[in-house]
Structure 1
Amino acid sequence: MSAHVKESELESLLLRVVPGLADQWQGATPDEIEQIEHLAGRPLPSFYRWFLSRMGNSMGRLAYPTLDFSAQRALACHAEKWVASEPRFLFIAYSSDEVMPLHAFYDLEAPARADALVTVRDALGNEQHDRFETFREMLAWGAFLQFRVGIMPQQCEGMITGEPAGLLSRLDPVMNRLGFTQPVPTGTYCRLYERADAAMICSSPPSADFEGSQVFTLGGGDEGTLRRILGEIATEPSLEVEVDEWTPKLG
């Protein structure tokens, strides 16, 4: 599948689930994009170019509370020598978290599907924490959590575990049988599922160490709907389901 098709699918999802996004997002200028590519010292991942062209100046309601992904912020941090240019890591988001500011970087030596791995770390370059295999999946996951799963009357979260090899490939047929579709293509460490009355996200850090587990959040109309979905998943011999929390809490 071409990068253009993937971006079209993501754009359709975002415009569908994020209210008013088409009137809110604002792209960076071509000059700003070229300046960022110059700092990277190599061609930008094509998805990042798409992101900057669509919302490099404003993400509208899709904006993260403590992460600033704007082109202006990235360029300003470089201009102020707050962050250094590196051959491998490209600074893409400034964290304003007062307790533990972990800023977002692309790992340009971990490309995937016309995109690249997103990791977070402090400004000094200490221990990094890999978050998503691609920035595309990070955006889709966040939007789906907030504007699709998060608006459901009843939600629950927990863990799906199983044999590491192909865990999600075994979950996919179960969800398909339950009438769920996948609005955007994803890789080994992330899934988005939806049907008219329910939606679910799954993810794990992009590492072979986590391939046998997926953290999930499932939303639907009521407790019964969610229990029936989880019950069907649990009937798959190679999958186990553990629920850790219900929102709102059950009586």
Structure 2
Amino acid sequence: MDEFIARASQWDPGFPARIRGATAQEIQALARLTGLPLPGVYEAFLARMGHGDGDLDVGMDGTTDISAMIDYYRDSLSEDEGFPPHCIVIGTGSISSDICLEIVPTGEPRVVFTEGNKVYGLYAESLMGLLFRNAFLGFRLYTRPSYAFYASSYAALGLMNRVDEARRVILELGFEEEWFSDSICVCAERGDTAIGITQFEKQGMGVSIGSRDASELARIGEVLKKKLGLSLQKPR
């Protein structure tokens, strides 16, 4: 977690001052309520960002505050409501009823969207990857002087996931992919230009581009329109 905070601080020097960690007692209380061992990466997140994630928006306009998670678990237990098996609720947001860590047999827990006791979509392949991804999109990319957002509906994409195709397009343009990219979001840079491609399961695609060179946005946009059928939604 220290490595992540150091990287995020390079992208946004004000980041460390905005995060607030939870106490060991709060983390222990949440662990007892979940009935599952908290993954080490989540414990580390809570210890540094349990009361404030510094505008990473992990909760997607909702909250990941540990106080809210403790209250949510207590309320759910009193109302005899269940959660999906092997899942730990880490956030409640506006796009999903819950955001959970899904414990898998091997590897890092996945971050998933859930509704009641059902998992219905992938948010990110790992929590650490999600933190880097959100910092890249929110601090590294969006704060560039010139910004544009391209998008396409799921129907216009042929009801297909086209992230891998989009990945190939930007790699052909000379972008270098960041290690924290996954099957949901591809983050990459080329010189003074950063790009983020996101397509959730059975959803449309959005592509954010930030650059110090405004002319780059139009050049890349033309390729996105031609290769993927995306259209410009939000220039700045």
TM-score band w.r.t. shorter chain: 0.7 to 0.9
Structure 2 unmatched ranges of 5 or more: none
Q: Establish whether residue 30 from structure 1 lines up as the match of residue 24 from structure 2.
A: yes
Alignment CA distance shift 1:127-1:113 (3 Å): closer
Q: TM-score, normalised by structure 2?
A: 0.73
Structure 1 unmatched ranges of 5 or more: 1-6
**Cα distance in 2, alignment partners of residues 85 and 104 from structure 1:** 12
C-alpha displacement at 1:164, in angstroms? 6.3
Does the aligned pair in 2 maintain the 1:9–1:184 contact within 8 Å? no
Does the aligned pair in 2 maintain the 1:112–1:133 contact within 8 Å? no
What secondary structure sits across from 1:105 in the alignment? Answer: strand
Q: Establish whether residue 188 from structure 1 lines up as the match of residue 176 from structure 2.
A: no
Alpha-carbon RMSD: 3.7
C-alpha displacement at 1:69, in angstroms? 0.7
Alignment CA distance shift 1:133-1:177 (3 Å): same
C-alpha displacement at 1:29, in angstroms? 2.0
Residue aligning to 2:63? 68
**Cα distance in 2, alignment partners of residues 56 and 111 from structure 1:** 26
Q: How does 1:1-251 map to 2 (within 5 A)?
A: 10-63=4-57, 66-81=61-76, 84=81, 86=83, 87-95=85-93, 102-106=96-100, 108=102, 113-121=107-115, 125=116, 129-134=120-125, 135-152=127-144, 153-159=146-152, 168-169=163-164, 171-172=166-167, 174-176=169-171, 178-205=173-200, 207=201, 214-221=205-212, 223-232=214-223, 239-248=227-236
C-alpha displacement at 1:118, in angstroms? 2.2
C-alpha displacement at 1:55, in angstroms? 0.6
What secondary structure sits across from 2:149 in the alignment? Answer: strand
How many residues end up aligned between the 2 structures?
227
**Cα distance in 2, alignment partners of residues 13 and 56 from structure 1:** 19
**Cα distance in 1, alignment partners of residues 32 and 165 from structure 2:** 42
**Cα distance in 2, alignment partners of residues 61 and 234 from structure 1:** 31
**Cα distance in 2, alignment partners of residues 118 and 216 from structure 1:** 21
Alignment CA distance shift 1:162-1:194 (3 Å): farther
**Cα distance in 2, alignment partners of residues 22 and 85 from structure 1:** 36
Q: TM-score, normalised by structure 1?
A: 0.70
Alignment CA distance shift 1:224-1:189 (3 Å): same
Does the aligned pair in 1 maintain the 2:163–2:199 contact within 8 Å? no
**Cα distance in 1, alignment partners of residues 97 and 118 from structure 2:** 12
